[in-house]
Amino acid sequence: MSGPATTPAAAAAALPPGATLGVMGGGQLGRMFVHAAQSLGYATAVLDADPASPAGLVAHRHVASAYLDEAGLAALAEASAAITTEFENVPAQALERLAARRPVAPAAAAVRVCQDRAAEKAHFRQAGVPCAPHALIASAEQLDAVPAGLLPGILKTAQLGYDGKGQVRVGDRAALAAAWDQLGRRPCVLEQRLALRAEISVVVARGADGAMVELPVQQNLHRDGILAVTQVPPPDVAPALQAEAVRSARALAGSLGYVGVLCVEFFVVDDGSADGALVANEMAPRPHNSGHHSLDACDVSQFELQVRTLAGLPLAAPRLHSPAVMLNLLGDLWFRGGDDAAVEPPWPAVLALPGVHLHLYGKAEARPGRKMGHLTVTAADAGTACAVAREAAARLGLPPF
């Protein structure tokens, strides 16, 4: 933890309650940002083309336009005293245009790095943070020149991937060539497929004055490339490795000159040592699904940290007051009966369990793979949180973890 961030200068620059905070993107992350902003007394404005976007539905003002629409950007800038983003793939040009008129955090340049796996990996290297062995494939020559040691690997599009989309697992050169064709011969990164012992992430917040705080490290379980379960504290990761992850996340935020909330995902891989070794996977320039437990298990949530960094308020180090397990609720849950028609999951059955915090995002239509909500179980000890979360998963028909 760094020292107190309250300085007369920072306090003088803070936006007063009643000011409007703007957000690019109207998904669930924007919705939870809006809720946090509202509880600190701010008004909110959301830009998203969807008239029924989760954040647009709860904001004071909804600008229904495309991200690059001039009139929409002008309306958001007009309405807002400062603007942030909730969607990783908001075009960086849109943030640049907004920044000509209003303070924007994180800055377009930092978002651009997080949007491109090649730039992201170059940044890891520059900050001295290890990442998976990889090669850039943007031409047939680069495809042919891939070192054999990277196979078996995972071919990932350099841009516009999320939730495991734009990724193909490849075993040999023939499969690699076919996968690159399948991905439209777009610029890609081939990563060596690593044997993962665990996955963890760090959510760090950095203010304009350079002060940083972070959430305690969380451990994540993915299914089919999508986050399924987050556990805090991490059950399987040595404290020294957790501390290293925090140091790396801070180094990455600091060297980007980042302002806002940044999530860094890491793999724990075998290197023959007892603890294993840490490898950075990717960064998200916004709050992250793996930090959702902070709403209920920490005394400052990742969304409040985003509000504080945007409004120029002091950062206070979050404290995990309860061990927690977060379960993602994907649209698949609505189709468990095998029917084509969506059926509401049995919420009362899980709300009857102690320490269950249910968050639904207000999306009208459930679709397989769509993030519809999450639930966090808090308890006095990690064993109880885990046992109750397993029971909740069973009652909903989620796979065991």
CA–CA gap between residue 298 and residue 214 (Å, rounded): 11
The residue type of 226 is: I
310 among annotated binding-site residues: no
The answer to whether the bond into 233 is cis (omega within 30° of 0) is yes
Greatest CA separation for the chain: 62
199 among annotated binding-site residues: yes
299 among annotated binding-site residues: no
Among positions 61, 101, 102, 193, the unique one binding ligand ATP when judged by CB under 6 A: 193
Please say whether the beta carbons of 279 and 131 come within 8 A: yes
**Nearest distance from C-beta of residue 120 to Mg ion, angstroms:** 11
User: What is the residue whose two structure tokens read 């029924």?
Assistant: 52
**Nearest distance from C-beta of residue 140 to Mg ion, angstroms:** 28
132 binds, among ligand ATP, Mg ion, none (CB under 5 to 8 A by kind): ligand ATP
Is residue 197 at the binding interface for ligand ATP, with CB under 6 A as the rule? no
User: What is the residue whose two structure tokens read 């189709």?
Assistant: 335
Give kind and range of the element (H or E) at residue 200. strand 196-206
362 binds, among Mg ion, ligand ATP, none (CB under 5 to 8 A by kind): none
Q: Which residues contact 213 (CB under 8 A, 6 or more apart)?
A: 1, 2, 204, 205, 300, 305, 315, 316, 317, 318
Is residue 191 at the binding interface for ligand ATP, with CB under 6 A as the rule? yes
Please say whether the beta carbons of 84 and 287 come within 8 A: no
CA–CA gap between residue 196 and residue 220 (Å, rounded): 12
273-302 positions binding ligand ATP, by CB under 6 A: 281-282
What is the pattern of x (binds ligand ATP, CB under 6 A) and - over residues 136-155?
------------------x-
123 binds, among ligand ATP, Mg ion, none (CB under 5 to 8 A by kind): none
214 binds, among ligand ATP, Mg ion, none (CB under 5 to 8 A by kind): none
Sheet strands (E) in 310-363:
324-330, 356-360
Nearest Cα to 296, choosing from 355, 371, 225, 211? Answer: 355
Is residue 395 at the binding interface for ligand ATP, with CB under 6 A as the rule? no
Please say whether the beta carbons of 361 and 31 come within 8 A: yes
Among positions 86, 116, 199, 296, the unique one binding ligand ATP when judged by CB under 6 A: 199
Determine the size of the site formed for ligand ATP (CB under 6 A).
18
**Nearest distance from C-beta of residue 220 to Mg ion, angstroms:** 9
Is residue 116 at the binding interface for ligand ATP, with CB under 6 A as the rule? no
Is residue 164 at the binding interface for ligand ATP, with CB under 6 A as the rule? yes
Determine the size of the site formed for Mg ion (CB under 5 A).
1
> What does the block give as tokens for 391?
């029971």
Nearest Cα to 225, choosing from 284, 280, 170, 162? Answer: 162
Among positions 194, 353, 360, 396, the unique one binding ligand ATP when judged by CB under 6 A: 194
Nearer to ligand ATP, 147 or 383 (CB): 147
Per the rule left: phi > 0, alpha: psi between -120 and 50, beta: everything else, 389 is alpha
Would you state the torsion angle of the CA atoms of residues 337, 341, 342, 344, taken in this order, to the nearest 10 degrees? -70
Give kind and range of the element (H or E) at residue 114. helix 108-115
265 among annotated binding-site residues: no
Three-state secondary-structure class, residue 241: helix
Is residue 163 at the binding interface for ligand ATP, with CB under 6 A as the rule? yes
Nearer to ligand ATP, 77 or 132 (CB): 132
Is residue 396 at the binding interface for ligand ATP, with CB under 6 A as the rule? no
Among positions 40, 136, 138, 162, the unique one binding ligand ATP when judged by CB under 6 A: 162
Nearer to ligand ATP, 167 or 294 (CB): 167
Please say whether the beta carbons of 359 and 301 come within 8 A: no
Is residue 222 at the binding interface for ligand ATP, with CB under 6 A as the rule? yes
229-268 positions binding Mg ion, by CB under 5 A: 265
**Nearest distance from C-beta of residue 343 to ligand ATP, angstroms:** 27
Binding site for ligand ATP (CB under 6 A): 132, 154, 156, 161-165, 191, 193-194, 196, 199, 222, 225, 265, 281-282
- Known binding positions for ATP: 117, 156, 161-167, 191-194, 199, 222, 281-282
